[in-house]
Chains A and B, each alone.
Chain A
């Protein structure tokens, strides 16, 4: 770039020389000679703007590699430790509950009461068993009815039978609001509620 610059300067000077010789033709030779500078004698020096750089030490890349290895070892050691288990909040009895002042002063159960409870539980056991057997029986009857229906359908037409056996992909997810204690009121506006969620979120 410095060479090109010098060439430009040379051209400029020679142009100036030409113009000046045209305008002032009778001028002295001595004046013209000090303006005319031959291009070949122009010398350029190296770029003078750079800062002297530090010498690169050959041991540097080795030291960097050692540092990286040490970090990797530390990482591996940390990873070896098994992660802490997320505590199950329900299994930890809060210390508030173990307070002695909170004990209820209840009287002992009488013999009649405990007898009554035991007999009631026995009756309940029998009631629930009968209920369960009835449920199982009703399900079995329904299945029997369905099998009979599919058998009859197969006798009728194979194509309809195959169509009936296909699962319905649009059925699930199926949602239905369950029974409440009181029926929904017409045109009822529930009051705006606000709650702050304070569940603890753990990250492993």
Chain B
């Protein structure tokens, strides 16, 4: 479904959250609108609320009802929505570009074979397609440092696993439909794993623990297993291609 005529859907939840749905299905247009609203909210009302968290097509604003009412947060969000429609994202956020080296296939990407047969392309072609786009960071979430990115070429947009894996090594790179993502830490998960980056994506001793933000750009670069060993543990913020 596309966007509703009124624009956004706002739900007040639990007495301390204002949830905003930008649209109901993932598209990069929707993500762009979400980013504009997210950075507008951050810029304009960050000091009035506790926390502002983007989802894939939505935003949650966590507030303290002793300081501000949900009604007031909602009306500010609606004003900012109208305002954010008329501006360019560049006025709010200047994206950075990150290169993420990835060893594809084999033990690094146990589902590359599946994606190859699903797409009726060779593994090399799948890798070529995955590395040929500049992806936009949609959001971070799920577990520390998990990065959601879009938009994956429809040719390789394999669906997620029916039953998620219990344990996925950190740095794993996966595909779930039109999104691609990197697991910042070891965790369970259901994305199709096509490769793994040797970079440390998330390190709580660093400030910030991950330098990647919504709206940033990511390109993947195919590396050989020997390079994986050499680059293992390099912080994503310290790596340059």
Do chains A and B interact in one complex?
Answer: no
| Residues in chain B within 8 A of chain A (CB atoms) | none
